[in-house]
Amino acid sequence: MKNRKETELLTLILFILIPLATGAVSSLLSGNMSYDSFVKPSFSPPGYIFPIVWNVLYILMGISSYLIYSSDAPGKEKALQTYKLQLSFNFFWSILFFRFSQYLPAFLWLIVLIVLIVLMISQFYKICPLAAFLQIPYLLWCLFAAYLNYSIYLLNRSN
Protein backbone atom coordinates (compact mmCIF):
# COMPACT_ATOMS: atom_id res chain seq x y z
CA MET A 1 0.00 0.00 0.00
CA LYS A 2 2.80 2.40 0.87
CA ASN A 3 4.53 1.74 -2.47
CA ARG A 4 1.32 2.55 -4.39
CA LYS A 5 0.90 5.85 -2.54
CA GLU A 6 4.54 6.74 -3.21
CA THR A 7 4.05 5.95 -6.90
CA GLU A 8 0.93 8.13 -7.02
CA LEU A 9 2.76 10.98 -5.29
CA LEU A 10 5.71 10.73 -7.69
CA THR A 11 3.30 10.67 -10.65
CA LEU A 12 1.54 13.79 -9.32
CA ILE A 13 4.90 15.54 -8.90
CA LEU A 14 5.85 14.59 -12.47
CA PHE A 15 2.55 15.97 -13.76
CA ILE A 16 3.22 19.24 -11.91
CA LEU A 17 6.81 19.42 -13.20
CA ILE A 18 5.78 19.01 -16.86
CA PRO A 19 3.97 22.37 -17.20
CA LEU A 20 6.52 24.08 -14.92
CA ALA A 21 9.35 22.83 -17.15
CA THR A 22 7.42 23.77 -20.28
CA GLY A 23 7.04 27.32 -18.97
CA ALA A 24 10.68 27.52 -17.91
CA VAL A 25 12.01 26.36 -21.29
CA SER A 26 9.63 28.69 -23.12
CA SER A 27 10.85 31.56 -20.98
CA LEU A 28 14.48 30.72 -21.75
CA LEU A 29 13.77 30.55 -25.48
CA SER A 30 11.86 33.83 -25.37
CA GLY A 31 15.09 35.74 -25.13
CA ASN A 32 16.14 38.68 -23.02
CA MET A 33 13.48 41.18 -24.10
CA SER A 34 12.44 43.10 -21.04
CA TYR A 35 8.79 43.64 -20.15
CA ASP A 36 9.72 47.32 -19.79
CA SER A 37 11.05 47.60 -23.36
CA PHE A 38 7.70 48.31 -25.05
CA VAL A 39 4.76 50.62 -24.45
CA LYS A 40 2.13 49.08 -22.17
CA PRO A 41 -1.41 50.13 -21.28
CA SER A 42 -2.12 51.65 -17.87
CA PHE A 43 -3.81 48.44 -16.61
CA SER A 44 -0.68 46.40 -17.24
CA PRO A 45 0.53 44.64 -14.07
CA PRO A 46 4.12 45.03 -12.90
CA GLY A 47 6.53 42.55 -14.47
CA TYR A 48 7.23 40.64 -11.25
CA ILE A 49 3.57 39.47 -11.12
CA PHE A 50 3.85 37.30 -14.24
CA PRO A 51 6.23 34.58 -12.99
CA ILE A 52 4.26 34.27 -9.75
CA VAL A 53 0.95 33.90 -11.55
CA TRP A 54 2.32 31.53 -14.18
CA ASN A 55 3.92 29.25 -11.60
CA VAL A 56 0.62 28.97 -9.73
CA LEU A 57 -1.24 28.31 -12.99
CA TYR A 58 1.29 25.67 -14.06
CA ILE A 59 0.93 23.91 -10.71
CA LEU A 60 -2.88 23.94 -11.09
CA MET A 61 -2.47 22.57 -14.65
CA GLY A 62 -0.30 19.77 -13.37
CA ILE A 63 -2.75 18.80 -10.62
CA SER A 64 -5.66 19.00 -13.03
CA SER A 65 -4.00 16.87 -15.69
CA TYR A 66 -3.01 14.32 -13.02
CA LEU A 67 -6.66 14.04 -11.95
CA ILE A 68 -7.61 13.27 -15.54
CA TYR A 69 -4.71 10.86 -16.00
CA SER A 70 -5.62 8.91 -12.86
CA SER A 71 -9.26 8.61 -13.93
CA ASP A 72 -10.76 5.55 -15.59
CA ALA A 73 -13.35 7.62 -17.44
CA PRO A 74 -13.93 7.34 -21.17
CA GLY A 75 -12.61 10.36 -23.03
CA LYS A 76 -9.53 10.56 -20.81
CA GLU A 77 -7.06 10.09 -23.69
CA LYS A 78 -8.75 12.70 -25.87
CA ALA A 79 -8.82 15.16 -22.96
CA LEU A 80 -5.13 14.61 -22.30
CA GLN A 81 -4.36 15.14 -26.01
CA THR A 82 -6.20 18.47 -25.85
CA TYR A 83 -4.23 19.30 -22.71
CA LYS A 84 -0.93 18.56 -24.50
CA LEU A 85 -1.97 20.62 -27.52
CA GLN A 86 -2.93 23.67 -25.46
CA LEU A 87 0.32 23.34 -23.49
CA SER A 88 2.28 23.43 -26.74
CA PHE A 89 0.38 26.57 -27.82
CA ASN A 90 1.14 28.04 -24.40
CA PHE A 91 4.84 27.22 -24.92
CA PHE A 92 5.11 29.10 -28.22
CA TRP A 93 3.13 32.22 -27.29
CA SER A 94 5.87 33.90 -25.26
CA ILE A 95 8.43 33.11 -27.96
CA LEU A 96 6.26 34.85 -30.57
CA PHE A 97 5.58 37.78 -28.26
CA PHE A 98 8.92 38.36 -26.54
CA ARG A 99 11.61 36.86 -28.77
CA PHE A 100 10.15 37.99 -32.10
CA SER A 101 8.00 40.96 -30.95
CA GLN A 102 5.18 39.67 -33.15
CA TYR A 103 2.36 41.19 -31.13
CA LEU A 104 -0.51 40.63 -33.57
CA PRO A 105 0.43 37.02 -34.47
CA ALA A 106 0.94 36.37 -30.74
CA PHE A 107 -2.54 37.74 -30.05
CA LEU A 108 -4.07 35.48 -32.73
CA TRP A 109 -2.07 32.54 -31.33
CA LEU A 110 -3.48 33.38 -27.89
CA ILE A 111 -7.04 33.32 -29.25
CA VAL A 112 -6.45 29.77 -30.51
CA LEU A 113 -4.97 28.89 -27.11
CA ILE A 114 -8.09 30.23 -25.37
CA VAL A 115 -10.33 28.11 -27.63
CA LEU A 116 -8.20 25.07 -26.77
CA ILE A 117 -8.44 25.86 -23.05
CA VAL A 118 -12.24 26.10 -23.26
CA LEU A 119 -12.33 22.78 -25.11
CA MET A 120 -10.01 21.21 -22.54
CA ILE A 121 -12.13 22.49 -19.64
CA SER A 122 -15.23 21.05 -21.28
CA GLN A 123 -13.55 17.67 -21.75
CA PHE A 124 -12.10 17.70 -18.23
CA TYR A 125 -15.50 18.57 -16.72
CA LYS A 126 -17.05 15.40 -18.17
CA ILE A 127 -14.34 13.34 -16.50
CA CYS A 128 -13.61 15.20 -13.26
CA PRO A 129 -15.32 18.53 -12.49
CA LEU A 130 -12.56 19.48 -10.04
CA ALA A 131 -9.96 19.14 -12.80
CA ALA A 132 -12.04 21.51 -14.94
CA PHE A 133 -12.50 24.03 -12.13
CA LEU A 134 -8.74 24.08 -11.50
CA GLN A 135 -8.34 25.36 -15.08
CA ILE A 136 -10.68 28.37 -14.66
CA PRO A 137 -7.93 30.70 -13.30
CA TYR A 138 -5.81 29.77 -16.33
CA LEU A 139 -8.65 30.63 -18.71
CA LEU A 140 -9.29 33.94 -16.96
CA TRP A 141 -5.60 34.83 -16.99
CA CYS A 142 -5.33 34.02 -20.70
CA LEU A 143 -8.40 36.17 -21.43
CA PHE A 144 -6.72 39.03 -19.57
CA ALA A 145 -3.44 38.27 -21.37
CA ALA A 146 -5.24 38.46 -24.73
CA TYR A 147 -6.66 41.88 -23.84
CA LEU A 148 -3.22 43.01 -22.67
CA ASN A 149 -1.51 41.52 -25.74
CA TYR A 150 -3.91 43.26 -28.12
CA SER A 151 -3.50 46.56 -26.27
CA ILE A 152 0.29 46.25 -26.51
CA TYR A 153 -0.05 45.53 -30.22
CA LEU A 154 -2.12 48.70 -30.69
CA LEU A 155 0.30 50.84 -28.67
CA ASN A 156 3.45 49.51 -30.38
CA ARG A 157 2.46 49.05 -34.01
CA SER A 158 4.18 51.08 -36.67
CA ASN A 159 2.02 53.80 -38.14
What band does 159 get if pLDDT is binned at 50, 70 and 90? Answer: low
Quick check: 59 and 20 in contact, CB under 8 A?
Answer: yes
Residue 1: what pLDDT?
58
CA dihedral 149, 152, 154, 159 (to 10 degrees): -130
Where do the structural domains in the chain lie, given as residue ranges?
Answer: 2-30+45-156
Residue 69: what pLDDT?
98
Lowest mean pLDDT among 1-10, 67-76, 85-94, 125-134: 1-10
Residue 31: what pLDDT?
84
Mean pLDDT along residues 57-68:
98
What band does 73 get if pLDDT is binned at 50, 70 and 90? Answer: very high
Kindly state the percentage of the chain with pLDDT values over 70: 99
Q: What is the CATH number of domain 2-30+45-156?
A: 1.20.1260
